[in-house]
Structure 1
């Protein structure tokens, strides 16, 4: 994956996409980024900072959606400039792609929107790297068409695919690890989303639940299967997070997990 400011690409390690679910404030984003940069530099893990400038897919009308698009996008740019790391954000309407691309290095297509042709082609035209999350209703084989749509518009576009589990009934997800090598066969890097794959959606409360105690399990299995990268949302105090706190890994636990994952990667190399 060719990204400006992406370091440690010769280390042979998996790459890491990590950060808070949503941009909550500049101070918090910089605090999280500083700690993530320090640990990934020490471990020589290629790192992309992730943060959503807006959360459009919420169950309840009064759920937190963001601090304002422009403010959050400017914070993402500040993170990238301050720490010299690439940044990633998702967008939710095709006409938002160009605007978001002015502030970040990677545009992400949310899982529920991975079949939306206008979204995929809009991301392709920006020239940015595009991460497409596999829909909870999609097979690994069917994600070939998302890659095909992007490449048809921009043959030089860099694309990677992210698995985030499949719907298992109405309120749970399961991970089918066969999808990782299946999607790698499409000729693109493949990432495992270790936090969203543990969501428990459609709860009666209107707030998505999760099983964060199993984040390490998902991550270890993904590395053992040969995932190119991992996606992990993290926060200093997940219980205080304004979005998806039920799924996020406490920031204090991430470095020890990454050390274990490196040993797994080395064991299978």
Structure 2
């Protein structure tokens, strides 16, 4: 069984909107629905769980009915942080999923998701136990000098770097055990940590899967405008 865990528990303060960014309408449809549709329409995804911002659960269920997202089976309350939200979503599957079932973790505000990305992350996770979508890093990275932060004498060769985002996929047994370990030890759960960084801190070797430059996270108003243009072009193409 392959299940998607969609993380939609944030408030999106940097977007500068009155409502959470995952519920902002784009082309008369909320952002979260575009994300859900990517998994609803994918043949390798059997069911969907959404970890939702508290107080918005019924709104989410109403949208799922309106837009015929019938793979949505579970709605779980989000936590105080991103890692707590993912943990809540993972723990909800205890006693439901088998250890070898695949959990695909994805940000609810990454709505421009190509089906090929989902296909590859599931494929790699089935073969190797986990997978993280990734892309080459095409800019030069320099290290700030410790004594003079306005200068540098060191750089990191970009050939040694990968940009990693969601979706990520893990066998449920690995995902569940590592979240228990992380919260028991207080490792990989603070700040900007996500499942992938937590896994590495707990000694897990991660496997790269195919990514996409279009799969951006909607964080700023500029990101939202880019998504509006994409959605308008897609809708016109589908007419």
For normalisation by structure 2, the TM-score amounts to 0.31
More strand by share: 2
Larger radius of gyration: 2
**Which structure exhibits the higher relative contact order, with contacts defined as CA atoms closer than 8 Å and separated by 6 or more residues?**
2
For normalisation by structure 1, the TM-score amounts to 0.28
